[in-house]
Amino acid sequence: MIIDDRKIFGVSYVSRLYLKYWKSLLFVNLFFCLLVISYEYHHLYSENALLENLQGAFLLVSTVAYFGLASRSLGHLRSAYLGTALLCFSFFTRELDLELLPVIEHVGFLFHGIGRTLMLLVLWSFYVVMVVRQGGFKMHIVNLLRSKYLHYFSLCFLLLVTGAFFDREFFPLEYGRLFEELAETNAYLFLALPAWYELYYSFKKSLSLRASVNGSGRAKPEET
């Protein structure tokens, strides 16, 4: 099944879902703050702890989801999905210490230091060449600005900038590390939501088409 450009433009149902459930998301964030500040659950946001593992899960699933969407798309839409998949993968290799996992100990050099930098440089170079061959970045940017998911990517960017401010300690706070990890976790969630919704939409549409075909196959012509 090929995904057409129609689905990423215009008003988004997933946006209305966010507006409906933003209070729940706010509650979860406040609950984390309560656990840490009032009950001193500092292990929740320490290195390689719950929040960082959530970030890794969001990014890994998003990488696979965007690559899956790209495989069923064409043209600039395919480039957009591939670019977002590479972005998620880049963040994934940055957030998690993959070189420490025994499973990939022999190739761990690819996921940290200069090895990680070179690997991402090669991947992004291939992506840039592909975009240039499809007409350049001008049309790519125009399509991005017309996307119904632009506000999700904008929120992701703003949250990552907020997290960077706490990371650099421009605002020295006692729980600055907690706010940094919460900002990044929410950022990667917003980055993941468009892919999850598009996969859900595609799955729902395929079920509907299958039911329609099965229903027409069982229908019998009326006897005269």
Segment 6-59, tens digit of pLDDT = 444 334 555 666 666 788 899 999 999 999 999 999 999 988 889 999 999 999
pLDDT score recorded for residue 10: 39
CA-CA distance, 82 to 63, in Å (whole number)? Answer: 9
In a domain, 3, yes or no: no
66-80, pLDDT tens digit by residue?
999 999 888 888 998
Q: How many CA atoms lie within 13 A of 159 on its CB side?
A: 18
DSSP structure string for 133-181: HTT-HHHHHHHHHHBTTHHHHHHHHHHHHHHHHHHTTSS--TTHHHHHH
Environment class of residue 49 by beta-carbon count within 10 Å: exposed (0-12), middle (13-18) or buried (19+)? Answer: middle
Residue 191 confidence (pLDDT) above 60: yes
> In this structure, is residue 75 part of a structural domain?
yes
In a domain, 212, yes or no: no
Number of domains in the chain: 1
Nearest 5°: the CA angle 175, 52, 113 is 105
Do the domain assignments include residue 45? yes
Range of the domain at 82: 13-98+107-206
Residue type, 89: F
Give CA separation, 87 vs 3, 157, 204, 222, in Å: 21, 12, 27, 56
Instruction: Kindly report the pTM of this predicted structure.
Output: 0.83
> 3 - beta bridge partners?
73
Say if 219 falls within a structural domain.
no
Residue, of 91 and 20, whose pLDDT is higher: 91
